[in-house]
Amino acid sequence: MRQEIGETGGGLRRGGSLVAKDARHVLHPWADLSALGGQGSLMVCEAQGVEVMDSAGRKYLDAIGGMWCVTVGYGRPELIDAMQAQARRMPYFTPFADVANEPAAELAALLAELSPGDLNRVHFTTCGSTAVESAVRIAHLYFASRGRPAKRHVLSRVNAYHGSTYLAASLSGKEADRTRFHYETEWVHHLENPGFDPDDAPLSASERLGQLIDGMEAAIADIGPENIACFIAEPVLASGGVLIPPPGYHQATRELCRRHDILYISDEVVTGFGRVGHFFASEAKFGIVPDMVVTAKGLTSGYQPLGAVLISDHIAGTLTESADPAKPVFSNGFTYSGHPVACATAIANIDVMQREDICGHVRDVGPYFVERLRELRNSPLVSAVRGDHLMACVECQVPGETGPTARNQALAGRVDAYCEKAGLLVRPFENLCIMSPPLVITKDEIDRIVAIMTESLARAEHDLR
Ligand code: PLP
């Protein structure tokens, strides 16, 4: 939810017929229903490099990366040319059953090379939510194929975000998103939020790890391992507030899953494709090989909608060897699964990432980004700064008032509005300003982000007096 700055006025929402049409007819994801059709939206029209421009011609440094997804920056001719060429050659044909397309086949082979361990089988979807949904259905099918259909419960975590289809929304654990929609609760369980902030922890890292693993073991014992199909986890919880588990957490949870025959699904929709310095964080950064990895967003740098589930040979082998002889069909998939234009874009994106060593660049500028943002803790309005390479958040609070209270949320909204007015887009969530800039961001541009944040915090502090 965006906030206007009052008399000084952001002046960002212009009249104009398209803004009016949007206000009258579009129901935006995560729209504020109490204000539907009221205040006009920020109409973003053009984009280049790390900047976007609105309909009034104002430019903004995009510290959101579109929505955690624009990784190689806007206006990349390599991606645009690939999209155009594929659209001309063959824009679409069914991906169902025994029909293939060239870009999807090539992209699947590339993903198998980049992915951890033996995750060599790719099921394409249309976005992150449909990939999450498909991964859980595959876990169910896997156990049903092994004659264990009771294994269908799913473990997720508080503060996780996994998408907004019915099951993905049910797996998500952000309290603020739990509204009057209906959620699956019978077989979806949420473990404790695993975030650990060494600056602000009453427990040591190893004590916290012990607590989290004990909690997970207790939940498994309570539900019964014979009833649990899978555990789904973002390596670093992204939109739930950039929550970083204590060292050893990923390996310990992986081990628990292995011991109890529970499939481990790593949701790398945000952490994949370079955001924390690797194509996939699970193995390269956290030392685990999951049973399945879910990816989307950075897969195409956000230029085209596409998601994928990367599946281990072991699971794929079980599905084929133990298929129901009466109905051997894998009845999951979408009209636009492995869309040729989206897959061609992803191939061009991977090519750019490899040629320009984007992951290496992130490993270089990422620590600088987090360190510079941590300077913002000098402001009395900042209670915490958390980050891992190019995903970070700044937690705002009115001095003396902790947590996402109404006043703290309003404060973060105010900081966000001042940033917007000064030409910087950050993403407000509760009392957080979340940032995930394009991965091609430079140290100078990082300095610009920090300067605008510093100034915006100072203005918000002045307003409080
Ligand atoms: N998983 C994670 C970790 C995400 O952050 C998101 C979206 O933000 C999703 C899944 C859902 O992806 P999509 O919005 O493409 O459906």
Cα 162 to middle of ligand 1, angstroms: 5
The minimum-distance atom of ligand 1 relative to the CA of 67 is: 8
Give the model's confidence band at 242: pLDDT under 50 very low, under 70 low, under 90 confident, else very high: very high
ipTM summary value: 0.99
Ligand 1 neighbours, Cβ below 6 Å, are 127-129, 132, 161-163, 234, 238-239, 267, 269-270, 296
CA gap 78, 347 in Å, rounded = 10
Lowest mean pLDDT, pick from 35-44, 113-122, 262-271: 35-44
pLDDT value, residue 4: 47
Q: What percent of the chain has pLDDT over 70?
A: 97
- 211-220 pLDDT, tens digit per residue, is 999 999 999 9
pLDDT at 3: 47
The secondary structure element, H or E, covering residue 266 is: strand 263-267
Give the pLDDT score at 39. Answer: 74
Separation between Cα atoms, residue 324 and residue 51, nearest integer Å: 52
Q: Tell me: the pLDDT tens digits for 65-109?
A: 999 999 999 999 999 999 999 999 999 999 999 999 999 999 999
Q: In what order do the strands lie in the sheet with 59-62?
A: 44-48, 51-54, 59-62, 424-425
With 0-12 CB in 10 A as exposed, 13-18 as middle and 19+ as buried, what is 228? Answer: buried
Determine the Cα–Cα distance for residues 35 and 47; give it in Å rounded to an integer. 28
For ligand 1, atom 1: residue with the closest CA? 162
184: CB partners within 8 A, 6+ apart: 166, 167, 170
Helix axes 443-464, 406-421, angle to 10 degrees: 130
Give residue 101 CA to ligand 1 midpoint distance, Å: 26
Could you give the CA distance from residue 165 to residue 170 in angstroms, rounded to a whole number? Answer: 8
Relative to the CA of 163, which ligand 1 atom is closest?
11
pLDDT tens, residue by residue, 6-63: 433 333 444 468 989 999 999 999 999 998 887 788 999 999 999 999 999 999 999 9
pLDDT over 90, % of the chain: 92
Which whole number is the average pLDDT over 276-291?
Answer: 98
* pTM for the predicted model, two decimal places: 0.96
Atom of ligand 1 nearest to the CA of 132: 10
The mean pLDDT of 130-139, rounded to a whole number, is 98
